[in-house]
Amino acid sequence: MVTGDVTQIDLPHGTSSGLIRAQHILQEVRGISFTYFTAADVVRHPLVARIVEAYERAENHDPLAPRRGRERRLDT
């Protein structure tokens, strides 16, 4: 299991993320799946949910942002 949050990558501009690279390399490997969480999955403080929602709104305006909010199973 690998966990990470592509919305929290703090690398310098123009530096590629290993997490995003791994998603691209592994997306077609049988037996590997990716799960993307949304604000509905946050069960902690309501402020945390509002922060996640703000990032989701920002991603909806960025065509290069990674897809979130759904599970993708590749082992079938």
**63 vs 6, higher pLDDT:** 6
Measured CA to CA in angstroms, residue 65 lies from 8, 18, 31, 43, 44 at distances of: 12, 15, 24, 24, 25
Distance CA 54, CA 41 (A): 14
Q: Is the pLDDT of residue 74 over 70?
A: no
Q: Is 34 exposed, middle or buried (0-12, 13-18, 19+ CB in 10 A)?
A: middle
Q: What is the mean pLDDT of residues 4-25?
A: 84
Distance CA 52, CA 27 (A): 24
Q: What's the pLDDT tens digit per position in 15-68?
A: 888 888 898 999 999 999 988 888 788 777 889 888 888 988 888 876 565 555
**44 vs 69, higher pLDDT:** 44
At 43, give phi and psi (nearest 5°).
Answer: -120, 15
